[in-house]
Amino acid sequence: MIDRAIPDGRRTVRVCGGSRWWRATTGRFVLASAAWLAVSMSFAPAVRAEGAEAIPRDTFGAADMDYQQRAFDKLIGSVKADAVPVGVDPVIWDAFVPADNEMTADRVALGRKLFFDKRLSKDGTVSCATCHDVTRGFTDQRATSEGIGGQIGRRNAPTTLNTVLLETLFLDGRSPSLDHQARLPIINAIEMGFPDGESAVKAIADDADYKAMFQKAYGRDVNYEDIGRAIGAFERTMVFLDSPFRRFVHGDDDAISAEAKEGWRLFNEKARCVSCHHMNLSNPLGTDNRFHNIGVSARHQDFEALARRGLKAMEEDPSEEKLEELALATDMSELGRFMVTKNRSDIGAFRTSILLNIGITAPYMHDGTIETLWDVMDHYNKGGEANLFLDGGMEALALTEEEIDRVVAFLFTLTDDRFAEDNQRQMEAQRAKAQKNRPFRDDELANRRKLAFEDRIAK
Ligand code: HEC
Ligand code: HEC
């Protein structure tokens, strides 16, 4: 599957030119509008190949760890582990690398070994790559994740691709850096399950390879903080920005179809996506790095009562570990950013998602409740599900089905070329699924869907 999707070696297209990237305004790309006028309903497939070779998978459905490592080698090609990623200005890159964790080949090699090592879970069944699977867009492609002992969490595993460029980590932004974030799944009871960092260290400290590798990388024995740093260093190599859309923005007019170009125009105008999903030379990810309630979780919950419960739980135990548990294993998960800031305006708010590589990371949203990009569009077209904390930027859009198709065509051009085949396959699968399962659209209903939940909360 992934094998065939990966071209030999790494592309060397320089997509982000020097300091221009830094100086670029926060506004939209200014592109020749004439190009948008030509609308064609045909989407030329970039890749022809069909079918996937059998990938050896474990009981979690994750690809075998050795297989994943080989797939990773092919993705990365001959690029040096400590090289500045293609497409990122070297000066800017420095800002993403912590002062106490400079990129070295030894650190990246150590982080890589840890990332794929199931011994980092209490019962030896789960590694980071179980849920951030190289063959599945560095996600698990499940609605919500399964950790040790078959425990199912409340949140969808986001991709680790390009997360180095984010301002905060986790969907509620509760972690400030990759190095810090990487420590938390290890001690989360429903993910990798160690009671504390020390027990995780014990699980690998006797391994001669690790002993030598920690010394080489950090000049210290195996320790919890450096586990986080090494994994962080490895994740900083996962920069995948070389999409058809990027080539288009940099002047290759043939890189995307006319339909996708029209979708890009809609994205910036009628569909209003750009108001939250900032996409420009200084921010190529497609997120404003802010938190919004877009009416995904509303339907499940009485937010007011839930917020009171959340505050009480955090008063009783304000620790980082408790917040991990509340966020991943309880109803309080749906409160999102509120659990970090305790601001009422953050109730039900989650970080605006990265849109790069979106074609290969279904299902969507923090709870994985939306299966296809067509259904995501349907959600936005109806203004999101109403709730008292809905972001002011959400309103019904009145997009036609054709316009929805165009925005979706655009979204599928945001995937890195190295995943082109997977992207194509997912697009076809999603199209088939969306057409079958899409709820019947009635424009009156679409403007505002009333929920039982709203009556309860309005009293
Ligand atoms: C059991 C599945 C599971 C395992 C194991 C797991 N993760 Fe995750 N990962 C998730 C889920 C679910 C989230 C979202 C949690 C949240 O936002 O509260 C996440 C979030 C992340 C993020 C934040 C991404 C973003 O967009 O903010 C990173 C980075 C990450 N994981 C890396 C790792 C690393 C490194 C490991 C191993 C130490 C790991 N994960 C282990 C499921 C998992
Ligand atoms: C008011 C801000 C806002 C607007 C406007 C907005 N989004 Fe989002 N978008 C978000 C937030 C916040 C999330 C994450 C929500 C969650 O996880 O519950 C998100 C999630 C998504 C996702 C799912 C990503 C994933 O990995 O799960 C896609 C796709 C998406 N948006 C596309 C769009 C498109 C296309 C538009 C325009 C039609 C749009 N968004 C308009 C804020 C916004």
- C-alpha to C-alpha distance for 267 and 403, rounded to whole angstroms: 10
> Do 383 and 450 meet the contact criterion of CB atoms below 8 Å apart?
no
Stronger pLDDT, 38 or 359, i.e. the higher one: 359
Q: What angle do CA 97, 100, 105 make, to 5 degrees?
A: 65
Ligand 1 in reach of 361 Cβ (< 6 A): no
In Å, what is the CA distance from 244 to each residue of 53, 153, 208, 260? 25, 34, 44, 10
Residue in 196, 226, 200 with CA at minimum distance from that of residue 120 = 200
Residue with tokens 């910036």: 268
pLDDT at 52: 54
Ligand 1 in reach of 147 Cβ (< 6 A): yes
- Tokens in use for 338? 């509120």
Q: Check pLDDT > 70 for residue 451.
A: no
Region 426-441: mean pLDDT is: 78
Ligand 1 atom closest to 147 (CA): 1
Ligand 2 pocket mutation, candidates 269, 294, 358, criterion most atoms within 8 A of CB: 294
Region 341-367: mean pLDDT is: 96
Ligand 1 in reach of 175 Cβ (< 6 A): no
Residue nearest atom 24 of ligand 1, based on CA coordinates: 170
What radius of gyration do the chain's Cα atoms show?
22
Ligand 2 atom closest to 267 (CA): 37
Residue with tokens 């709870």: 367
- Tokens in use for 177? 């850096």
- C-alpha to C-alpha distance for 455 and 459, rounded to whole angstroms: 7
- C-alpha to C-alpha distance for 414 and 412, rounded to whole angstroms: 5
Q: 51 exposed, middle or buried (CB, 10 Å; 0-12, 13-18, 19+)?
A: exposed
252 contact partners, CB below 8 Å, separation of at least 6: none
Ligand 2 pocket mutation, candidates 132, 277, 382, 395, criterion most atoms within 8 A of CB: 277
- C-alpha to C-alpha distance for 85 and 90, rounded to whole angstroms: 8
- C-alpha to C-alpha distance for 339 and 334, rounded to whole angstroms: 9
Instruction: Count the Cβ atoms, other than its own, within 10 Å of residue 110.
Output: 27
Residue nearest atom 22 of ligand 1, based on CA coordinates: 170
Of all ligands present, the nearest one to the C-alpha of 270 is: 2
Stated length of the chain: 459
Calculate how far, in angstroms, residue 205's C-alpha sits from the geometric centre of ligand 2. Answer: 42
Ligand 1 in reach of 68 Cβ (< 6 A): no
pLDDT band at 96 (very low <50, low <70, confident <90, very high): very high
Ligand 2 pocket mutation, candidates 262, 365, 406, 415, criterion most atoms within 8 A of CB: 365
- C-alpha to C-alpha distance for 282 and 188, rounded to whole angstroms: 34
Ligand 1 pocket mutation, candidates 59, 145, 331, criterion most atoms within 8 A of CB: 145
Ligand 2 in reach of 358 Cβ (< 6 A): yes
pLDDT at 145: 93
Calculate how far, in angstroms, residue 198's C-alpha sits from the geometric centre of ligand 2. Answer: 38
Calculate how far, in angstroms, residue 156's C-alpha sits from the geometric centre of ligand 1. Answer: 9
Ligand 2 atom closest to 156 (CA): 27
Instruction: Count the Cβ atoms, other than its own, within 10 Å of residue 149.
Output: 13
Ligand 1 pocket mutation, candidates 115, 117, 128, criterion most atoms within 8 A of CB: 128
> Do 424 and 415 meet the contact criterion of CB atoms below 8 Å apart?
no
- Tokens in use for 291? 């938190």
Tens of pLDDT, residues 363-402: 999 999 888 999 899 889 988 888 889 999 999 898 999 9
318 contact partners, CB below 8 Å, separation of at least 6: none
* Nearest 10 degrees: Cα torsion 311, 314, 320, 321: -120
Of all ligands present, the nearest one to the C-alpha of 115 is: 1
Residue in 378, 385, 434, 446 with CA at minimum distance from that of residue 407 = 378
Residue with tokens 């080989």: 70
- Tokens in use for 346? 């953050």
Backbone angles phi, psi at 187, to 5 degrees: -105, 10
Residue with tokens 């940099």: 250
- C-alpha to C-alpha distance for 95 and 21, rounded to whole angstroms: 14
Tens of pLDDT, residues 40-87: 222 233 333 334 568 999 989 999 999 999 999 999 988 888 889 888
- C-alpha to C-alpha distance for 162 and 89, rounded to whole angstroms: 15
Region 98-109: mean pLDDT is: 96
Q: Check pLDDT > 70 for residue 27.
A: no
Ligand 1 in reach of 155 Cβ (< 6 A): yes
Calculate how far, in angstroms, residue 158's C-alpha sits from the geometric centre of ligand 1. Answer: 7
Tens of pLDDT, residues 181-231: 999 999 999 999 999 999 999 999 999 999 999 999 999 999 999 999 999
Query: Distance of alpha carbon 382 from its chain centroid, rounded?
Result: 24
Ligand 2 in reach of 272 Cβ (< 6 A): yes
